[in-house]
Amino acid sequence: MFSKILIANRGEIACRIIRTARRMGIRTVAVYSEADRDALHVEMADEAVAIGPPPSAQSYLQIDRIVEACKQTGAEAVHPGYGFLSEREAFAEALAKAGVVFIGPNPKAIAAMGDKIESKKLALAAKVNTVPGYVGEIRDAEHAKKIAKDIGYPVMVKASAGGGGKGLRIVHREGELAQAIQSSKNEAKASFGDDRLFIEKFVTEPRHIEIQVMGDRHGNVIHLNERECSIQRRNQKVIEEAPSPFLDEKTRHAMGEQAVLLAKAVNYDSAGTVEFIVDKDRNFYFLEMNTRLQVEHPVTELVTGLDLVELMIRAAAGDKLPVRQSDVKIGGWALEARVYAEDPYRGFLPSTGRLVRYRPPREGRHGDVTVRNDTGVYEGGEISLYYDPMIAKLCTHAPTRADVIEAMAAALDEFRIEGISHNIPFLAAIMQNRRFREGRLTTGFIAEEFPDGFHGLAPDDADIRRFAAAAVAAKLTRTARAARITGALNGAIPLPTAYVVSFGDRAVRVDDAHFHHQHLRAHMDGMAYEATIRWHPGEPILRLEDKSGAAAIQIARMAGGYRLSHGGVRIVASVRSARAAQLAALMPRKRTADNSRYLLCPMPGLVVSINVKEGQEVKTGESLAVVEAMKMENVLTAERDAVVKKINARKGDSLAVDDVIMEFA
């Protein structure tokens, strides 16, 4: 067994690998860019080596610098995590040449299966079902047009060296193809150093279901059953689960057999994932093989009880697999929700900045429920624009799918993040979605369920009562505490018991409100209401239980009231006396500024291209500019017909949120 390994990655996956290595008694070496000097993985590792400037192409993708870090520290092996160099044959070969073990598959397996084009050819030769398409590299836009016309739209433009949704575009008509090719090439080059593309048919109503395989260097290969990864946005997975609610035992067995067959064909000897597209009739088609650890591997670990990182390390050290296929069982149900630094209320635009508050739910086993949170950040740390926007992977495990969804909903409600925008309200809303709860999933789920974007869930009557109760209890608690301050009136003036709680255009009259020993009694709009409430001023979570059930409500004080959120509902509650509420209703409302004449930068980012000129007439939907943020290109389009009056930005400019890119006449 190795005594020291280097982790050629960053963020949550580097931290996760360090935890397993530490448990195994293995010392660890972290590498870091200038932007990650104060990162959590650097703090956790036993040693750390700087490898370059912030852009990944100048640091985490620099093979020579990582090999040199191994020599400098005496690391015997390297775990690449996922992304960056994890599927680069040249990296594994460079390590071997330096006498360092690559904790992953052998270079030939990476070459055969890590390349999406070559893996499709190999799968065809092995008579594995594959998605219809062109098995080869596209030469240029004209070549792509011919292929797409032959296959029939919609098609997928995909990076041959891709993964994680990078370099992938779905194209519905010929007019979108040129921009899709350019963006895919740019993303692939920036993320993988390889801009080769191919095209395949986009299967309608598809499910994305993948099989985890594990091999050793003695010829043994097994599969660890499936993961359902259909909940995706912009081709990036958002929520994953194991097992799939769709597969029957016959299909699971067939998919597992094909995955193992494919892995054995290239003498696969580590952790890998064979991805399939499954149609509504349970016909499955090989999509690609990822020759690395997957982001969503924790759900497999939770249902099998196996540590995939440990298995990878042991396989690389020459150990045989400690389990056989017959030993692999499905124990309960697991969910993973990816917490991203993005604003779901503004089209999921990336968000950067400092984590003013970062308080995840309590990890560990609580009864039949297990909560796990894989992260690479800490309170006070910074979310950089240079890397993937993932903050954490929140996982829950429970006996049944219904139980694990409830556990995830509760854990999301307790997850507090401030300082940047994040997608927790969106994840919480999915947990409440009927279609999701019924398991009726496709890769189009998010687009179909939120066609106009995410605007938060509307509160129902039970939510309104709970929010009103939370706001009044908080108000009474703070007022009672203020009355006890030395030199104050010491309660000589009785606490008010009547309030109007306003939620925008909706208001609730709360009378006879008394809050004592965690028990609230009141009348809401004339109806009796009681709840048990546990909260102290300053705490981010208020716990409430009434006849509708228990709830964890996030609460933050603001002028005139509180900002509250629970179950995907986010609301501002103003708590006033009846007279103050009357006066507040007479106050003029501030008008929103008219920015329709400007194209504003929606996120901090780098201008990749300006696609129009001053004086040019543009039509609705036409591409105006492309801005890159967090390794993804965002195409900004015209929202209406207009004439470009002035352009304020140029290619290569670094912009902040709401910087004016161009002005319209």
Residue at 79 is within a domain: yes
User: Are the CB atoms for 331 and 409 separated by under 8 Å?
Assistant: no
Region for residue 249 given its phi and psi (left: phi exceeds 0; alpha: psi -120 to 50; beta: otherwise): alpha
Co-location of 380 and 307 in the same domain: yes
Instruction: Kindly state whether residue 113 falls inside one of the protein's structural domains.
Output: no
Considering the domain architecture, whether residues 228 and 281 belong to the same structural domain is answered as yes
Containing H/E element for 312?
helix 308-316
Band (pLDDT 50/70/90 cuts) for residue 487 is low
Beta bridge partners of 511: 523
What does the DSSP 8-state code read for residue 325? G
User: Which residue among 152, 170, 201 closes a domain?
Assistant: 201
Find the CATH number of the domain harbouring 505.
3.30.700.30
Residue 245 forms part of a structural domain: yes
pTM, rounded to two decimals: 0.84
Give the model's pLDDT for residue 488: 59
As given in the structure block, the two tokens for residue 116 are 């999406």
Mean pLDDT, the chain, as a whole number?
A: 92
Pairing of strands 4-7, 77-79: parallel
* Residue that is written with structure tokens 């967090």 in the block: 630
Query: Is the same domain home to 504 and 417?
Result: no
Q: In b/e form, how buried is each residue of 107-138, taking b as 16+ CB within 10 angstroms?
A: bebbbbbbbbbbbbebbeeeebebbebbbbeb
Contacts of 129 by beta carbon, 8 Å cutoff, 6+ apart: 258, 283, 284, 285, 286
Domain co-membership, 603 together with 512: no
User: Residues 390-434: pLDDT tens digits?
Assistant: 999 999 999 999 999 999 999 999 999 999 999 999 999 999 999
Hey, which residues does 80 pair with through a beta bridge? Answer: none
Q: Give the domain extent around 335.
A: 209-449
Q: Does 18 lie in the same domain as 147?
A: no
| pLDDT at residue 157 tops 70 | yes
The mean-pLDDT minimum among 67-76, 89-98, 123-132, 138-147 falls in 123-132
356 and 253, same structural domain?
Answer: yes
202: Cβ contacts below 8 Å, ≥ 6 apart: 154, 155, 156, 170
What mean pLDDT is predicted for residues 527-545?
A: 95
Distances (CA, A) of 510 to 325, 389, 482, 497, 520: 61, 42, 21, 8, 12
Give the length of the chain. 665
Residue 439: both structure tokens together: 């398991």
Nearest CA to 155 out of 59, 143, 163 is that of 143
Q: Take residue 311 and report the two structure tokens written for it.
A: 């298995």
440 and 341: one domain? yes
Reported as a single tens digit per residue, the pLDDT across 98-111 is 999 999 999 999 99
Q: Which position has the higher pLDDT, 505 or 517?
A: 517
**What is the three-class DSSP state of 596?**
coil
Phi, psi of 325 (to 5 degrees): -60, -40
Domain stops at, among 542, 564, 585? 585
- Residue 522, H or E segment: strand 519-524
**pLDDT score for 234:** 81
Active site annotation includes 448: no
Task: Tell me: do 177 and 253 sit in the same domain.
Answer: no
Euclidean distance between CA atoms 35 and 38, whole angstroms: 8
Please, which pLDDT band fits residue 484 given cuts at 50, 70 and 90?
Answer: confident
What percentage of the chain has pLDDT greater than the value 90? Answer: 75
CA distance 305 to 80: 23
Q: Measuring CA to CA, which residue among 436, 473, 495, 431 is closest to residue 564?
A: 473
Structural domain includes residue 347? yes
Q: Are residues 570 and 604 in the same domain?
A: no
Which two three-digit tokens encode residue 40?
A: 């959590």
User: Would residue 125 count as lying in a domain?
Assistant: no
Residue 115 resides in a domain: no
CATH number, position 20: 3.40.50.20
Q: What CATH code is carried by the domain that includes residue 168?
A: 3.30.1490.20
Cα dihedral sign for 334, 340, 343, 346? negative
Q: How far is CA 583 from the centre of its chain?
A: 44
User: Does pLDDT of 385 surpass 90?
Assistant: no
In a domain, 591, yes or no: no
- CATH number reported for the structural domain that contains residue 656 in this entry: 2.40.50.100
Domain-located, residue 118:
no
Residue 301, both tokens: 């670990």
Q: Among 386, 419, 449, which residue terminates a domain?
A: 449
Query: By C-alpha distance, which of 160, 161, 179, 505 is closest to 169?
Result: 179
User: What is the count of structural domains for the chain?
Assistant: 5
- The CATH number of residue 236's host domain is 3.30.470.20
> What pLDDT sits at residue 495?
63
Asked if residue 603 lies in contact with residue 657, where contact means CB atoms within 8 angstroms, the answer is yes
Mark whether 53 and 167 lie in a shared domain. Answer: no
216 and 185 both lie in a single domain: no
Task: Answer yes or no: do 580 and 617 share one domain.
Answer: no
Give me the pLDDT at residue 523, please.
95
Question: 583, exposed or middle or buried, with CB in 10 Å at 0-12, 13-18, 19+?
Answer: exposed
Stronger pLDDT, 387 or 332, i.e. the higher one: 332
What distance in Å separates the CA atoms of residue 282 and residue 286, rounded to the nearest whole number? Answer: 13
Q: How far apart are the first and last CA of the chain?
A: 68
SS3 432: helix
Given the residues 12, 76, 200, 288, select the one marked as catalytic: 288
